[in-house]
């Protein structure tokens, strides 16, 4: 039987999501890919919330760094993001 190939693609603002990804990685064999914005967010949470609201209201998408993943190479892809 062919082994399923898994990937976890995640973004973590404060590190909490990365912690969850690490826990998942302990349970399943998966390649890990981190999404990183080209222009990092501020460390000030209130500024990030304000900016995020402006981006949503103006339908602006933040550019991200290329993560060099071929999605066709994976049977299962888990996407993990902050709440």
Condensed to tens digits (0 to 9), the pLDDT of residues 1-22 reads: 455 689 999 999 999 999 999 9
CA proximity to 21, closest of 5, 37, 33 = 33
| Separation between Cα atoms, residue 18 and residue 1, nearest integer Å | 31
Please, are residues 57 and 41 in contact by the beta-carbon 8 Å criterion? Answer: no
What is the predicted pLDDT for the residue at 1? 43
- pTM for this model (two decimals): 0.84
Name residue, tokens 């990685």. 25
What is the predicted pLDDT for the residue at 30? 94
Q: Which residues pair with 10 in a beta bridge?
A: 34, 80
The predicted-structure confidence for 22-70, as pLDDT tens digits, reads as follows: 999 999 999 999 999 999 999 999 999 999 999 999 999 999 999 999 9
What is the predicted pLDDT for the residue at 4? 63
9, with CB counted inside 10 A (0-12, 13-18, 19+), is: buried
What is the predicted pLDDT for the residue at 3? 57
């Amino acid at each position: 039987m062919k082994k399923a190939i898994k990937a976890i693609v995640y973004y973590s603002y404060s590190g909490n999501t990365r912690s969850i990804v690490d826990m998942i990685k302990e349970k399943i064999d998966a390649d890990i890919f981190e999404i990183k914005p080209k222009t990092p967010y501020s460390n000030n949470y209130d500024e990030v919330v304000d900016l995020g609201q402006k981006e949503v209201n103006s339908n602006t998408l933040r550019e991200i760094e290329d993560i060099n993943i071929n999605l066709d190479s994976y049977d299962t892809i888990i996407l993990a993001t902050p709440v």
